Amino acid sequence: MMRFKVQGSKFKVAALGVLLLYSVSASAQSIRSAIDSTQLLIGDQFHLDLWADIPAGSMVAWPQFKDTLIKTIEVVEATVPDTVRKENGDYTVHQRLVLTSFDTGFMVIPPVAFVFDRDTANPLLTDPELILVTEIPVDLEQDIMDIKGPMDVPINWRKYLLYGLIALVVIGLLVGGFLYWQKHRKQRDAPAARPVPTRPAHEIALEKLEALRLKKLWQSDRAKEYYIELSDIVREYIEFRFGIMALEQTTDETVRSLQITGVDTELLKTLSGMMQLADLAKFAKYRPMSDENEKSMDVARGFVENTRAIEGKPDSGNKSDSN
């Protein structure tokens, strides 16, 4: 229920903020107030509307409100005064206050003073309003009830769908980032691969063996160097031809690995003998005889030629074609 009041009485306004409105009209000034409820429950909110009709040429000092009207009535919110100009130049200013009370009983909303044209001696006052604030009725006959459970909020599928999509995108980004990091880390951690030759392994090995022969190392009393180079050439050939990590394996390990590839047993036996002789020269200061040196070169050359890859087939990892 909304009630309107018009009041022309005067009141002194001292410490109020000033809103000045000017007009050239000489129409009569008037103020009104209305509340939307006079009976309410404790904590309920209600509205107090204030209007001021201001003739053109007049001005009004609009009342200012703090956080309470009186001790028991709190101001929850006060809207900005809204000015509406009429055709004849007059103004109507309106403001709504949202009020509440946390006390019970009858309370009076005090009159609100409006000062027109700086006539502080004769302010216009609104009528006081009487309101009744009551408690929530309690049935003392009944037992004490348990606390009320949480209210069910209706499911907003659109909202959940949006959240779901955002979550999926975030998870996707995290998973993608992790996979990228893993891949990047694996690439970074991978040992530097030995450059794969573009030519067949046997060609390179035979060339190196010939170059070694021409160096005449053992003839110049450098048998150790001769066998180091010889075994390195053979092991490098085995690595690229059979995909065995011969450069990181000992003689026994290399021979065992070659056995799995199916290299001819006799060929392997002679190679093993040559490698063991090379080990003696490399690690035991052994000085092989001239014929042993020549034979070692022949064994190496024979092994390469007899296990060379068939044209058109890749080198690394292939089984011996001599079988």
Binding site for other proteins (CB under 8 A): 188-192, 228, 245, 247-252, 279-280, 282-286
Query: How many other CB atoms are found less than 10 A from the CB of residue 99?
Result: 22
Nearer to other proteins, 9 or 250 (CB): 250
Minimum gap (Å) between residue 252 Cβ and other proteins: 6
Instruction: Check: CB of residue 62 under 8 Å from CB of residue 95.
Output: yes
Minimum gap (Å) between residue 98 Cβ and other proteins: 60
Query: Around 44, how many Cα atoms within 13 Å sit in the side-chain half-sphere?
Result: 16
Minimum gap (Å) between residue 180 Cβ and other proteins: 18
Instruction: Check: CB of residue 36 under 8 Å from CB of residue 96.
Output: no
148, 155, 235 from 134: Cα distances, Å: 21, 35, 102
Nearer to other proteins, 16 or 245 (CB): 245
Minimum gap (Å) between residue 189 Cβ and other proteins: 4
Minimum gap (Å) between residue 233 Cβ and other proteins: 14
Query: What distance in Å separates the CA atoms of residue 56 and residue 92, rounded to the nearest whole number?
Result: 10
84 contact partners, CB below 8 Å, separation of at least 6 = 91, 92, 93, 94
Nearer to other proteins, 62 or 227 (CB): 227
Instruction: Check: CB of residue 307 under 8 Å from CB of residue 263.
Output: yes
Minimum gap (Å) between residue 278 Cβ and other proteins: 11
Query: What distance in Å separates the CA atoms of residue 7 and residue 127, rounded to the nearest whole number?
Result: 7
Q: By C-alpha distance, which of 293, 242, 282 is closest to 263?
A: 242
Nearer to other proteins, 17 or 191 (CB): 191
299: region left, alpha or beta (phi > 0 left; psi from -120 to 50 alpha): alpha
Which secondary-structure segment (H or E) carries 223?
helix 223-242
Identity at 316, one-letter amino acid code: S
Nearer to other proteins, 4 or 283 (CB): 283
Nearer to other proteins, 171 or 179 (CB): 179
Q: Token pair of 176, please?
A: 């993608």
Nearer to other proteins, 11 or 286 (CB): 286
Minimum gap (Å) between residue 219 Cβ and other proteins: 22
